[in-house]
Amino acid sequence: MTITDGVSAPGSGPRLHDDGLRSFASDNYAGVHPEIIASLHQANHGHQPAYGGDAYTERLQEIMASHFGAQAQAFPVFNGTGANVLALQAVLPPWGAVVCASTAHINTDENGAPERVGRMKLLPVETPDGKLTPELIDREAWGWGDEHRAQPLAVSITQTTELGTAYRVDEIKEIADYVHERGMKLHMDGARLPNAAVHLERSLRDITTNAGVDVLSLGGTKNGMIFGEAVLVLNPDAASGLTYLRKMNMQLASKMRFLSAQLVTLYEGDLWLRSAAQANAMAARLRARLESHPLLTFTQPTESNAVLAILPPAAAQRLRHNYRFYDWDPNRGEVRWMCAFDTEAPDVDAFCEAVNDALEASTSDQ
């Protein structure tokens, strides 16, 4: 018996979805970049040592050092929540707390994992645009030495934010200085870090290591990978124990070469840049085509691959007949539209036409 006996040839089974379908709900809806698929196929031949002893994980360390500095240490993991929990655990004692924006992914979309699994207290702060400032951090950065309060020992910022806004280099440096002066550590959730680098026209190192970030959750899935992210320790003096924490938190891949091969392909050349640039450009196109419509209000600047707008409920209901997207603030009709690495101009144009039709139809129904 061969290993292919009884197994259908690739593509011979029933197609389960319309591969021409495009969504504006999340960049997680997109497929996998063909170059990533090719890298997995290449990595699949022969045997390689398990648990990170493979050639791909070794090469990944070199690539991350070229982007983030010789001191950078990369720890591939399965997903973004795992990356965030591990990164924050590595910079905190058990009594530590993390100041973050109330809209941060660790606060709103990780089902309490930082607090339940990571055993840390989150101290969320309301922000107008998803971005923290020293003044906003100061609202929760207090109480050191008070045994009745979880100790604020880290700050987590998101680049780009859940609202699609980007921290400028000077803003990150200002936060880093504030944090370090108080003996705290700075974590960055960089699930969409490439999108920020494209918007800011700065290198990955400029907006992380050089700006004072201590530990980084580096994105991959939202920029064309099938699965996987990485925790990057940018300041070795600020984090410890990741070798053990990764295993304890079930984020250690035995066949790590398949995580690392994707990250190598994404970051070795300019694939990360091309993919993020395409997503950003399509978001800019979407906004430009709809910005003049009198019934639409845009609530945040479009600085990445996200567009936030207030859409009348009747129009939103009609639009959902053909397109998926998420409500951001249902109380005021705010929605979020996301573009991905594989979003093309015709996709955006068809969506914008559907938005216009939905707005027109909702107006005529009144």
Task: Tell me how far apart the alpha carbons of residues 180 and 3 are, in angstroms, rounded to a whole number.
Answer: 56
* Nearest-angstrom CA–CA distance, 183 and 312: 47
With contact defined as beta carbons under 8 Å apart, do 97 and 122 qualify? yes
Give me the pLDDT at residue 7, please.
46
- The 3-state secondary structure of 271-319, one letter per residue: HHHHHHHHHHHHHHHHHHHHCCCCCCEECCCCCCCEEEEECCHHHHHHH
Sketch the domain layout of the chain as residue ranges: 34-268, 271-365
Nearest of 94, 118, 90, 92 to residue 106 by alpha carbon: 118
What CA–CA distance (Å, rounded) separates 334 from 329?
5
Does residue 273 surpass a pLDDT of 80? yes
Bridging pattern class, strands 151-158 and 121-125: unpaired
Quick one: CA dihedral 81, 108, 103, 136, positive or negative?
negative
Task: Return the closest-CA partner of residue 222 out of 167, 288, 160.
Answer: 160
Residue 66 pLDDT exceeds 70 = yes
Query: 3-state DSSP call for residue 162?
Result: coil
Query: What mean pLDDT is predicted for residues 206-232?
Result: 97
pLDDT of amino acid 5: 46
- What are the backbone angles phi and psi of residue 230, rounded to the nearest 5°? -145, 145
Pick the CATH number of 34-268 from 3.30.420.40, 3.40.50.11540, 3.50.50.60, 3.40.640.10: 3.40.640.10
Q: Specify whether the CB–CB gap between 101 and 131 falls below 8 A.
A: yes
Give the model's pLDDT for residue 3.
Answer: 45
pLDDT in tens, 135-153: 999 999 999 999 999 999 9
C-beta of residue 257 within 8 angstroms of C-beta of residue 48:
yes
Q: Cα separation of 104 and 201, whole Å? A: 24
pLDDT tens, residue by residue, 250-272: 999 999 999 999 999 999 999 99
Indicate if 271-365 has the same CATH topology as 34-268: no
pTM: 0.94
Query: Both tokens of residue 193?
Result: 């870090």
What is the Cα–Cα distance from 255 to 252, expressed in whole angstroms? 9
The residues with which 297 forms a beta bridge, in sequence order, are 310
Which residues contact residue 64 at a Cβ distance below 8 angstroms, ignoring those fewer than 6 apart?
72, 73, 74, 218, 230, 232, 267
Give the pLDDT band of residue 11 (cuts 50, 70, 90).
Answer: low
Q: Is the predicted pLDDT of residue 247 greater than 80, yes or no?
A: yes
Which CATH code fits 271-365? 3.90.1150.10
Count the Cβ atoms, other than its own, within 10 Å of residue 5: 6
